[in-house]
């Protein structure tokens, strides 16, 4: 059964594997249509065969502006409109800032932030013309509560979240909605072979080294089921007033709540100092 009276069209980036693929599969099972994009077309090739007329696969690198524009044009030509954009393409990068090269840092931002910006900007004229549409940004628990060694990854997600909060205010009056998804650990390859790692330095063994070991142990035993995560995202887009932020998983809710409580405590502690900045009188 479709998730609405008329099947919706979803444009999902990074849909070849992991959460993106789980979401594409879950959306197709509802009867909605999917434009699945990824750099690896081999991993997407069977989707249109399994769902003829319902699924479309496009080779697409989100860091290439021209490819992005062409992908959106192809999707519109095939289905006539797009209802939900999911900016899922991205990857994790682990390493102390001193361990990372400038190329590591720039590549992380090009994919996780500027890639999402490219696709969002390409989609906005269509959404604006229709006075409807939903932008779903796949962030992370680390986009709110970072760990040592996640400086580059967390920074890219912090930036994505800040951009998305501003965007939500810019486009609300146009009927366009924005949801930032903040999953805790999901059982995909994200903490395993998909995670890019810098060469470790001994001096960071007591901070970043502990996170490296934790992720090694976590890989394959993450508590959150990608199929259930996908269904939660779908349900959020069906709400009359969808949430701006959607934490997913017990760990996400607990750590974000603790983080916000600590921020409030720090506000109270620094109030006497921070409020002394106005002109006298």
Cβ atoms of 38 and 88 closer than 8 Å: no
Helix 116-130 and helix 65-79, axial crossing angle in degrees, nearest 10: 40
Do residues 22 and 232 lie in contact, with contact meaning Cβ atoms separated by under 8 Å? no
* HEC per residue, the chain: CCCCCCCCEEEECCCCCHHHHHHHHHHHHHCCEEEEEECCHHHCCHHHHHCCCCEEEEECCCCCHHHHHHHHHHHHHHHCCCCEEEECCCCCEECCCCCCCHHHHHHHHHHHHHHHHHHHHHHHHHHHHHCCEEEEEECCHHHCCCCCCCHHHHHHHHHHHHHHHHHHHHHHHHCEEEEEEEECCECCCCCCCCCEECCCCHHHCCCHHHHHHHHHHHCCCCCECHHHHHHHHHHHHHCCCCCCEEEECHHHHHHHHHHHHHHHHHHHHHHHHHCCCCCCC
CA distance 261 to 34: 39
* CB atoms inside a 10 Å sphere around CB 124: 18
Give the active site residues.
139, 153, 157
Place of tokens 């997407």: 44
């Amino acid at each position: 059964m479709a998730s609405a009276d008329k099947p919706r069209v979803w444009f999902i980036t990074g849909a070849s594997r992991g959460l993106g693929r789980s979401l594409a599969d879950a959306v197709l099972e509802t009867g909605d249509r999917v434009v699945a994009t990824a750099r690896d077309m081999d991993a997407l090739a069977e989707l249109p065969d399994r769902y003829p007329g319902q699924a479309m696969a496009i080779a697409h690198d989100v860091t290439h502006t021209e490819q992005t524009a062409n992908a959106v044009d192809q999707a519109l030509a095939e289905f006539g409109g797009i209802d939900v954009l999911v900016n899922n393409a991205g990857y994790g990068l682990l390493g102390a800032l001193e361990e990372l090269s400038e190329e590591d840092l720039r590549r992380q931002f090009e994919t996780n932030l500027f890639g999402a910006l490219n696709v969002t900007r390409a989609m906005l004229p269509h959404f604006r013309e229709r006075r409807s549409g939903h932008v779903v940004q796949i962030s992370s628990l680390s986009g709110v509560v970072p760990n040592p060694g996640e400086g580059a990854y967390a920074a890219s997600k912090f930036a994505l979240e800040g951009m998305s909060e501003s965007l939500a205010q810019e486009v609300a009056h146009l009927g366009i909605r924005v949801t930032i998804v903040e999953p805790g650990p999901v059982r995909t390859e994200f903490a395993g072979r998909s995670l890019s790692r810098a060469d470790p330095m001994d001096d960071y063994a007591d901070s970043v080294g502990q996170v490296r070991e934790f992720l090694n142990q976590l890989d394959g035993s993450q508590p959150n089921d990608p199929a259930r995560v996908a269904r939660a995202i779908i349900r959020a887009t069906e709400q009359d007033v969808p949430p701006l932020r959607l934490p997913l998983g017990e760990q996400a809710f607990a750590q974000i709540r603790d983080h916000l409580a600590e921020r409030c405590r720090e506000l109270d502690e620094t109030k006497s100092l921070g409020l002394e900045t106005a002109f006298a009188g």
